[in-house]
């Protein structure tokens, strides 16, 4: 039988420590729902003693109908000089109603004496009594052994005494924390092995940070040494350089080490979970993220793209479908014809019998990329470019001119508030000329409104095209505000999502051009 490794997600607690991430209560509940559907075993929800949002979270989460995951509340051992039954923090943990309580305790002697400022014996008492008390209240107890690896390196006897105290007191799992993230896999493996050998039968877990770039490898090393619970956060979100990425770890355990976690069916949700949680955290999945990034199975070099067609396993370490991702051929300056033909095919355009056209299109792409375009992120604009070169593209409308006006007035001091934007566009659809004015708080919104107003009589389907994201990148920082601006718009309709791109020295012009491609490609997709 395959060995099962338990997964313990800390996105809502340690992940929220990530610079730039702040989650609302609703965000946290949606992430719980998604992680539960994905098959994670434990979901650490936060600190019930810390703030009103977390208190409300533990209340609300009890009403959810989770199919598999158990919720954990996070806190500390009792305070020094305090009995567990008198400790406010432990009381808060218990009153959270969470079926799992995770308490962190110190295991590094110097941390005890210099940071906690108490005796080594008192710390052992705090660990042992806190766990025994919680166990008497019928919750599952995880002991997070803070700084365990640094502690073990400094004073192995004391570090072992701490986890032995936790084990004797009945901790269900002792999760060794590589708190500072400075360890390497070979050290982790050796130290975890010392613990699993000293405490046979005790469940041991592992919690790593990525400061040496080795969080996943450290976690896998711990599993090799006998740890059976892995902690981590979705996409590796977390303080400093982040926590162990639980998704990469799950994929490595399942696909590379033959161990079972969420199982092969759920594993296919990996990419979707990565995206969902990133979006909920208002972050992007890094393009280069292992397994789940948009580039994870993307191939750029002409050589590779043609080789993949012949022998896929030669250039892909795993079948992207197993993690819900797909192979992607990139169009770029380095790409050969084979890449472009494959990319066009994925957009439903057959270039296979048109070598001269393909070369012509490649030349155009090369020239446009030189100007600042990047078709890698703009399938919609690429499809328009391809169809234009094949003589099959017909604009749905033609611009005569537009004018955008933004008026703004004083706040207190020099900062402005209450801007109003107005866009007037003059446009031709066939023989008809339309003049439309749109208002909006922002100039792109005003243009968008005016454009839709102008064409809706001819193209009522435009109502089904929604603009979902708008990104701006300044391409050459050295020339300040005169730099080339690249705008990428993500749009969607009922059937999917597409990207379009506009490049100009003027952010409004770049936005307009990306907007036009968005609508043109949207109408094209709908068969107009």
Say if CB 4 and CB 259 are below 8 A apart: yes
Distance (Å, whole) CA 333 – CA 372? 12
- Phi first, then psi, for residue 417 (nearest 5°) are -150, 165
Say if CB 471 and CB 446 are below 8 A apart: no
Give yes or no for residue 376 binding its own copies (CB under 8 A): yes
Single out the segment in contact with its own copies by CB under 8 A; choices: 94-102, 155-163, 164-172, 297-305: 297-305
- Phi first, then psi, for residue 34 (nearest 5°) are -70, -40
Give yes or no for residue 289 binding its own copies (CB under 8 A): yes
Whole-Å CA distances, 393 to 276, 325, 397, 398, 513: 35, 31, 12, 13, 16
What is the closest distance, in whole angstroms, from the C-beta atom of residue 438 to its own copies in the complex? 10
What is the closest distance, in whole angstroms, from the C-beta atom of residue 172 to its own copies in the complex? 25
Q: Interaction with its own copies in 464-503: which residues (CB under 8 A)? A: 466-478, 480-483, 485, 502
Give yes or no for residue 11 binding its own copies (CB under 8 A): no
Distance (Å, whole) CA 15 – CA 147? 18
Per-residue x/- mask for its own copies, residues 140 to 169, rule CB under 8 A? -------x----------------------
Distance (Å, whole) CA 300 – CA 375? 12
What is the closest distance, in whole angstroms, from the C-beta atom of residue 162 to its own copies in the complex? 16
Distance (Å, whole) CA 220 – CA 204? 13
Give yes or no for residue 433 binding its own copies (CB under 8 A): no
Q: Which of 303, 305, 270, 299 is nearest to 285 (CA)?
A: 270
How many residues form the binding site for its own copies (CB under 8 A)? 139
Between 110 and 493, CB nearer to its own copies: 110
What is the closest distance, in whole angstroms, from the C-beta atom of residue 474 to its own copies in the complex? 5
Single out the segment in contact with its own copies by CB under 8 A; choices: 14-22, 64-72, 120-128, 161-169: 14-22
Between 300 and 389, CB nearer to its own copies: 300
Instruction: Kindly tell me which residue out of 121, 197, 407, 457 binds its own copies, with binding defined by CB under 8 A.
Output: 407
- Which residue stretches of 281-354 are H helix? 302-310, 337-346
Residue 11 CB contacts under 8 Å (≥ 6 apart), including other chains = 31, 35, 233, 234, 237, 246, 277
Q: Interaction with its own copies in 50-79: which residues (CB under 8 A)? A: none
Instruction: Kindly tell me which residue out of 92, 144, 252, 254 binds its own copies, with binding defined by CB under 8 A.
Output: 252
Give yes or no for residue 311 binding its own copies (CB under 8 A): yes
Single out the segment in contact with its own copies by CB under 8 A; choices: 95-103, 127-135, 193-201, 332-340: 332-340
Distance (Å, whole) CA 167 – CA 41? 21
Distance (Å, whole) CA 506 – CA 504? 5
Between 167 and 500, CB nearer to its own copies: 500
What is the closest distance, in whole angstroms, from the C-beta atom of residue 88 to its own copies in the complex? 16
Q: Interaction with its own copies in 232-251: which residues (CB under 8 A)? A: 236, 239-242, 245, 248-249, 251
Say if CB 275 and CB 268 are below 8 A apart: no
Whole-Å CA distances, 122 to 125, 129, 427: 5, 10, 79
Single out the segment in contact with its own copies by CB under 8 A; choices: 37-45, 80-88, 119-127, 252-260: 252-260
Distance (Å, whole) CA 142 – CA 174? 6
Say if CB 4 and CB 225 are below 8 A apart: no
Give yes or no for residue 291 binding its own copies (CB under 8 A): yes
Between 70 and 304, CB nearer to its own copies: 304
Distance (Å, whole) CA 31 – CA 282? 13
Give yes or no for residue 461 binding its own copies (CB under 8 A): no
Give yes or no for residue 286 binding its own copies (CB under 8 A): yes
Give yes or no for residue 397 binding its own copies (CB under 8 A): yes
Give yes or no for residue 362 binding its own copies (CB under 8 A): no
Q: Interaction with its own copies in 115-144: which residues (CB under 8 A)? A: 115
Instruction: Kindly tell me which residue out of 39, 48, 128, 293 binds its own copies, with binding defined by CB under 8 A.
Output: 293
Per-residue x/- mask for its own copies, residues 253 to 282, rule CB under 8 A? ---xx---------------------x--x
What is the closest distance, in whole angstroms, from the C-beta atom of residue 105 to its own copies in the complex? 14
| CB-count burial class (<10 Å; 0-12, 13-18, 19+) for 155 | middle
Instruction: Kindly tell me which residue out of 413, 430, 460, 527 binds its own copies, with binding defined by CB under 8 A.
Output: 413
Instruction: Kindly tell me which residue out of 168, 332, 387, 437 binds its own copies, with binding defined by CB under 8 A.
Output: 332
Between 59 and 317, CB nearer to its own copies: 317
Place of tokens 């730099």: 483
Greatest Cα pair distance, the chain, in angstroms, is 89
Between 16 and 87, CB nearer to its own copies: 16
Say if CB 177 and CB 146 are below 8 A apart: yes
Q: Interaction with its own copies in 204-223: which residues (CB under 8 A)? A: 210-218, 220-221
Between 156 and 213, CB nearer to its own copies: 213
Distance (Å, whole) CA 358 – CA 341? 7
Distance (Å, whole) CA 365 – CA 361? 6
Region of residue 525 (phi > 0: left; psi between -120 and 50: alpha; otherwise: beta) = alpha
Instruction: Kindly tell me which residue out of 3, 136, 359, 506 binds its own copies, with binding defined by CB under 8 A.
Output: 506
Q: Interaction with its own copies in 73-112: which residues (CB under 8 A)? A: 108, 110-111
Q: Are strands 328-329 and 416-429 parallel, antiparallel or unpaired?
A: unpaired
Distance (Å, whole) CA 26 – CA 49? 19
Q: Interaction with its own copies in 163-202: which residues (CB under 8 A)? A: 179-186
- E strands in 42-172: 42-46, 70-76, 100-106, 140-146
Give yes or no for residue 364 binding its own copies (CB under 8 A): no
């Amino acid at each position: 039988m395959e060995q099962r490794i338990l997964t313990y997600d800390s996105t809502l607690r340690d992940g929220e420590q990530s610079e730039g991430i702040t989650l609302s209560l609703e965000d946290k509940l949606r992430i719980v729902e998604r992680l539960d559907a994905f098959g994670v075993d434990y979901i650490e929800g936060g600190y019930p003693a810390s703030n009103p949002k977390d208190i409300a979270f533990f209340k609300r989460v009890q009403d959810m109908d989770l199919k598999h995951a158990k919720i954990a509340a996070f806190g500390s051992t009792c305070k020094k000089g305090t009995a567990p039954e008198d400790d406010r923090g432990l009381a808060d943990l218990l009153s959270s109603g969470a079926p799992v309580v995770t308490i962190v305790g110190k295991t590094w002697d110097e941390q005890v004496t210099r940071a906690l400022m108490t005796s080594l014996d008192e710390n052992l008492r705090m660990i042992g009594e806190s766990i025994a008390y919680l166990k008497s209240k019928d919750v599952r107890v995880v002991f997070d052994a803070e700084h365990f690896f640094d502690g073990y390196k400094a004073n192995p006897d004391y570090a072992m005494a701490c986890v032995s105290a936790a084990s004797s007191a009945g901790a269900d799992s002792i999760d060794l924390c590589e708190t500072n993230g400075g360890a390497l896999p070979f050290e982790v493996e050796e130290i975890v092995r010392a613990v699993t050998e000293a405490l046979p039968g005790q469940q041991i877990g592992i919690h790593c940070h990525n400061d040496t770039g080795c969080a996943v490898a450290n976690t896998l090393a711990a599993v090799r040494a006998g740890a059976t619970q892995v902690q981590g956060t979705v996409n590796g979100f977390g303080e400093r350089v982040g926590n162990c990425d639980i998704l990469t770890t799950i994929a490595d355990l399942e696909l590379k080490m033959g161990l079972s976690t969420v199982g092969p069916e759920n594993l296919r949700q990996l990419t979707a979970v990565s995206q969902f949680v990133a979006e909920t955290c208002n972050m992007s999945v890094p393009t280069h993220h292992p397994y789940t990034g948009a580039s994870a199975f993307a191939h750029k070099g002409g050589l590779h793209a043609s080789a993949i067609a012949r022998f896929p396993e030669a250039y892909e370490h795993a079948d992207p479908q197993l993690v819900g991702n797909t192979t992607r051929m990139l169009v770029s300056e380095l790409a050969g014809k084979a890449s472009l033909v494959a990319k066009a095919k994925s957009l439903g355009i057959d270039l296979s019998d048109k070598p001269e056209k393909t070369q012509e299109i490649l030349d155009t792409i090369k020239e446009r990329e030189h100007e600042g375009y990047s078709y890698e992120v703009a399938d919609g604009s690429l499809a328009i470019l391809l169809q234009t070169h094949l003589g099959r593209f017909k604009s749905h409308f033609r611009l005569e001119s537009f004018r955008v006006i933004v008026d703004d007035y004083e706040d207190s001091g020099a900062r402005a508030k209450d801007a109003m934007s107005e866009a007037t566009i003059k446009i031709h659809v066939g023989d008809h000329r339309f003049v439309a004015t749109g208002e909006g708080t922002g100039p792109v919104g005003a243009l968008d409104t005016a454009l839709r107003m102008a064409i809706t009589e001819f193209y009522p389907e435009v109502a089904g095209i929604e603009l979902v994201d708008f990104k701006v990148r300044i391409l050459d920082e050295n020339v300040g505000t005169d730099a080339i601006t690249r705008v990428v718009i993500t749009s969607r309709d009922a059937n999917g999502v597409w990207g379009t791109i506009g490049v100009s020295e003027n952010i409004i012009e770049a936005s307009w051009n990306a907007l036009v491609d968005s609508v043109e490609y949207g109408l094209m997709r709908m068969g107009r």
